[in-house]
Amino acid sequence: MIKKILLVTILPFFSIGIFADGLDSGDTAWILTSTALVLLMTLPGLSLFYAGLVRSKNAISVLMQCFAIACIVSVAWVVYGYSLAFTEGNAFFGGTSAFFLAGIGRDTLAPDTTMPHSLFVIFQMTFAIITPALVVGAFAERMKFGAMCLFSLLWFTAVYIPACHMIWGGGYLADVKDFAGGLVVHLTCGVGALVIALVLGPRKGFPSTAMPPHNRTMVVTGAALLWVGWFGFNAGSSWAADGLAGMAMLVTHISAATGALTWMAIEWIKGGKPTIVGIATGMVAGLATITPAAGSVGPEGALLIGLMAGSICFYATQAVKGVFGIDDSLDVFPVHGVGGIIGIIMVSFVGVQGGFLGSSAGESWVPMEQFIIQIKGIVVIGLWTAVASWVILKILGSLMALRVTEEEEYEGLDVTEHEERSYDLV
């Protein structure tokens, strides 16, 4: 009788994997879900968001760019990307031991986790996919498709991989607090976007010619998918189905909503009308800004970060285009770059346990000491990204044309680059 009771009590735990070889089925199930959510952010979330923001003659080109980048980075991640990002190496790059994912089998666990190593690989792959895809917003409507493919591959190799290794792979910036990618994802894509916008130059007619979004319904559909997918981005970075994941999800939502409302309110107060593009962009700013802090801050801190994201990023978009005259087409730097910087800095103060605004979700550190570490991370990643992006563009520019001709730009990239149209209306 006692044996039967023990079997009934203990056997289910083995069946769901809690004690089986260190694998936790609950954690594994959550990261499986998170992986799908993060890929949802690029395909279709970001693709639709960006495609709706451009003119109708360029919508297919943006969808094609996002789709192609997802495929290119996926293959490169398997061949060498994962190994150079996450295996033991030097301060800036990992080693070659996991090229072609050597040694990663079905039953191997990822280091210091309770999930399969293969799952860790593909979860991190989705981050590597969306980062260069975000840069698309800077050169939309004017870059040649072939040049875009080569640039994205080289940029992924020279910018994303070392940034990932320096911060998440135990490299030079391992002490920086970047929970889900304020530097690794948002600062790199933001600075890369700024550099490529400067090198390529503005679209013909900028800034005198109005270039409004061609499909606002598509914009808000993509933005909604980004909002939902971001829960995998941030809450999945806890590596477990636990309280940290729950808090990360909560603060992510709070910051997104606060950023959206703040952006909308500023538009309204300034004498305009509240717009769907505005509230959606504010939401993205709130998401980008909370990303590095999602594992540290509590609800109060998320409210503050969302408020800062919606206001500072709003005025940053006005400054980049209106003051500096830089045609960052879809506001990648002011939303993602500036947002990432704000989040990285605020971690120092609202992420510390018992710190400003009563946050109790984070770790213990001395705020000013951590602030200096965070600033070092911003400077190193920002400069690395700027220099590498500029060098890549100059090398490619010496070998091929980076942007389409004036006539091709006027006709639209959908036809000139892909021989397709977004809408065949008769």
Residue 364: CB atoms within 10 Å: 8
Residue for token digits 């009934």? 8
What gap in Å lies between CA 23 and CA 32, rounded to an integer? 13
CA dihedral 142, 395, 100, 119 (to 10 degrees): -40
CA dihedral 91, 93, 98, 100 (to 10 degrees): 170
Degrees to nearest 5, angle at CA 70 with 176 and 125: 40
What gap in Å lies between CA 147 and CA 125, rounded to an integer? 23
Degrees to nearest 5, angle at CA 196 with 326 and 55: 65
**What is the torsional sign of CA 9, 14, 17, 23?**
positive
What gap in Å lies between CA 163 and CA 174, rounded to an integer? 10
Residues 107 and 101 sit within 8 Å (Cβ to Cβ): no
Number of Cα atoms under 13 Å in the Cβ half of residue 54: 29
- Report which of 47, 27, 37, 197 is spatially closest to residue 112, judged by C-alpha positions: 27
What gap in Å lies between CA 66 and CA 47, rounded to an integer? 6
Residues 178 and 345 sit within 8 Å (Cβ to Cβ): no
Instruction: Give, as one character, the DSSP assignment of residue 330.
Output: T
- Report which of 322, 187, 327, 342 is spatially closest to residue 262, judged by C-alpha positions: 342
Tens-level pLDDT at each residue, the chain (426 residues): 444 443 333 333 333 333 346 899 999 999 999 999 999 999 999 999 999 999 999 999 999 999 999 999 999 999 999 999 999 999 999 999 999 999 999 989 999 899 999 999 999 999 999 999 999 999 999 999 999 999 999 999 999 999 999 999 999 999 999 999 999 999 999 999 999 999 999 999 999 999 999 999 999 999 999 999 999 999 999 999 999 999 999 999 999 999 999 999 999 999 889 999 999 999 999 999 999 999 999 999 999 999 999 999 999 999 999 999 999 999 999 999 999 999 999 999 988 776 555 455 557 788 899 999 999 999 999 999 999 999 999 999 999 999 999 999 999 999 999 999 999 865
What gap in Å lies between CA 232 and CA 32, rounded to an integer? 9
What gap in Å lies between CA 283 and CA 188, rounded to an integer? 20
Strand partners, 116: 109
108 Cα distance to chain centroid = 28
Residue 212: CB atoms within 10 Å: 9
277 burial via Cβ count (<10 Å: 0-12, 13-18, 19+): middle
Residues 248 and 292 sit within 8 Å (Cβ to Cβ): no
- pLDDT value for 18: 37
> Residue 313: in which H helix or E strand, if any?
helix 299-318
- Report which of 114, 172, 118 is spatially closest to residue 377, judged by C-alpha positions: 172
Among the four given CATH numbers 2.60.40.10, 2.40.110.10, 1.10.3430.10, 3.40.50.720, the one describing domain 22-414? 1.10.3430.10
- pLDDT value for 112: 87
Residues 245 and 30 sit within 8 Å (Cβ to Cβ): yes
Number of Cα atoms under 13 Å in the Cβ half of residue 392: 23
Residue for token digits 């285009």? 321
Pair of tokens at residue 70: 């997802």
Burial 74-84 (b: 16+ CB within 10 A, else e): bebbbebbbbb
Degrees to nearest 5, angle at CA 238 with 234 and 240: 125
Secondary structure class of 82 (helix, strand, coil): helix
Domain chopping of the chain, boundaries: 22-414
Pair of tokens at residue 219: 């914009």
Question: What number of residues does the chain have?
Answer: 426
